[in-house]
C-alpha cells in the first residue's frame, strides 16, 4: 500500500500503480463474478468489470426492469443472465448489490445458494453492520468483503468511460479462504476505482449514511431551498435566485474546489466574495453542527436503520417515492432549474452526451 498524507494524518491506500489491472485480472482469472441486482450500482459495476475483461453474469428477478435493462446491455438469458438463485450458485464472487431493504428480503435465497469458498461482496456496509436488524448473517465458509465506490452508479460508469475512475473504500469482514483481501482489492480495481482506502463495514455505513443525509444530499438540498426561498421572498426573480443558489455552485465554484481545494476557490473569487465567505462560514458551521451530531447519533444507534427498513421495505414505497420526488421536481426552484438547463451552451450539452455514451439518460432506481 502507498502511504499518503491526508491533512497531517498518514493513511495507507491502494493505487492502480501498485495494483494494476493486469494484476487484478490474474487474481480473478478463474472467478465467475455474479452481480445480484441490476438497479443502481449493479449495471455500472457489471459493465465496468465486463469491459475490463472479467467473467461477469447477472442475477435479477426475471422479467423485471433490471432484467430487461441487463438484456439491453448485452447479457443473455441462460448464458450470462439468470434468476437470482441460479446466479448465486454459479458465482464464485457474489456481488450483493440489491437495495438494502431488498437484501434483507432476498437473503434466505442468497444464503441457501452460496457455494463454499465464494466471496460475498457488498458495496454498502448496511446489511452486515446492522445484521441484528437485517438478519444478513453470512455462513462461516465464505469470504465477506466490501468495495464501496464514493459515488452513484451513474458516476461509477461515467468516470470509468472517461478514464478518471472513482475512489472507493474497502473492508474485509471475514477471510475464510485466506485470499479475501487480494480478491477484494482486485475487484475494486476491476470496477474502475481511482484508489482504494481501508475501512470497516461499520465505519463505512456510519460515514455513508451521515454523508447522504448531510452534505452530499439532504443538507445540500435543504440549504439550497432555504436560500432560494429567502431570495424570492425579498423580490428576486426565479432565474436570479436559482443562478445564485444552484447554477453558479454546480457550473463554476464547485469545479474550482475540485481542482485545488476550497482555499484556492476563495483565492480565485472577488475580494468581496472572499471576505463574506470567510466571515459567514463559522456562523453556518455553528448553526449546523448540532444537527450533524444528532444525525450521527441516530445513525450509530440504528434509528436511521429502522426508518430505512420500515419505509423502503413497504410494497408501495416506489409509488410514495415518486410522489416525493415529483414535489421537488415541480417546485418553482427546480422548474426554474429545468429552464436554466435548456439555456446552457449546446456545445457543452454535446460534450456531456459524448462523455457518457452508453449511460446517458439512465435512471438509478
CA distance 146 to 204: 9
Alpha carbon 3 to its chain's center? 25
Q: Residue-wise over 291-308: b if at least 16 C-beta within 10 A, else e? A: eeeebbebbeeeebbeeb
Q: Is 124 a catalytic residue?
A: yes
CA distance 180 to 175: 5
Task: Given the residues 12, 30, 124, 179, select the one marked as catalytic.
Answer: 124
Phi and psi at 52, nearest 5°, equal -85, 5
Q: Which three cell numbers stand for residue 309?
A: 427498513
Phi and psi at 118, nearest 5°, equal -70, 160
Q: Of all helices (H) and strands (E), which one includes residue 193?
A: strand 193-198
Give catalytic residue positions: 124
Amino acid at each position: 500500500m502507498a502511504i499518503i498524507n491526508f491533512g497531517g494524518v498518514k493513511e495507507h491506500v491502494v493505487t492502480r500503480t501498485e495494483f494494476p489491472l493486469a494484476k487484478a485480472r490474474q487474481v480473478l482469472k478463474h472467478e465467475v463474478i455474479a452481480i445480484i441486482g441490476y438497479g443502481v450500482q449493479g449495471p455500472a459495476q457489471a459493465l465496468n468489470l465486463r469491459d475490463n475483461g472479467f467473467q461477469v453474469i447477472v442475477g435479477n428477478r426475471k422479467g423485471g426492469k433490471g432484467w430487461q435493462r441487463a438484456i439491453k446491455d448485452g447479457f443473455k438469458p441462460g448464458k450470462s443472465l439468470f434468476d437470482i438463485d441460479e446466479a448465486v450458485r454459479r458465482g464464485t464472487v457474489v456481488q450483493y448489490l440489491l437495495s438494502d431493504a431488498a437484501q434483507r428480503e432476498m437473503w434466505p435465497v442468497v444464503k441457501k445458494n452460496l457455494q463454499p469458498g465464494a466471496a460475498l461482496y457488498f458495496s454498502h456496509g448496511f446489511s452486515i453492520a446492522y445484521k441484528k436488524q437485517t438478519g444478513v448473517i453470512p455462513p462461516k465458509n465464505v469470504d465477506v468483503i466490501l468495495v464501496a465506490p464514493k459515488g452513484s452508479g451513474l458516476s461509477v460508469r461515467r468516470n470509468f468511460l472517461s478514464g478518471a475512475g472513482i475512489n472507493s473504500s474497502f473492508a474485509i469482514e471475514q477471510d475464510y479462504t485466506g485470499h479475501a483481501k487480494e480478491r477484494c482489492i482486485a475487484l475494486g480495481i476491476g470496477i474502475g476505482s481511482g484508489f482504494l482506502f481501508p475501512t470497516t463495514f461499520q465505519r463505512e455505513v456510519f460515514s455513508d449514511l451521515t454523508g447522504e443525509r448531510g452534505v452530499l444530499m439532504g443538507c445540500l438540498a435543504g440549504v439550497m431551498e432555504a436560500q432560494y426561498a429567502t431570495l424570492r421572498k425579498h423580490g428576486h426573480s426565479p432565474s436570479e435566485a436559482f443562478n445564485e443558489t444552484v447554477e453558479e455552485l454546480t457550473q463554476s465554484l464547485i469545479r474550482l474546489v475540485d481542482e485545488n481545494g476550497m482555499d484556492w476557490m476563495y483565492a480565485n473569487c472577488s475580494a468581496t466574495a472572499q471576505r463574506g465567505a470567510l466571515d459567514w462560514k463559522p456562523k453556518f458551521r455553528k448553526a449546523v453542527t448540532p444537527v450533524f451530531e444528532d444525525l450521527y447519533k441516530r445513525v450509530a444507534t440504528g434509528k436511521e436503520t429502522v426508518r430505512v427498513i420500515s419505509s423502503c421495505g413497504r410494497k408501495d414505497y416506489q409509488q410514495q417515492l415518486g410522489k416525493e420526488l415529483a414535489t421537488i421536481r415541480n417546485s418553482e426552484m427546480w422548474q426554474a432549474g429545468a429552464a436554466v438547463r435548456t439555456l446552457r451552451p449546446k456545445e457543452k450539452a454535446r460534450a456531456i452526451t459524448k462523455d457518457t455514451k452508453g449511460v446517458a439518460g439512465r435512471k438509478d432506481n
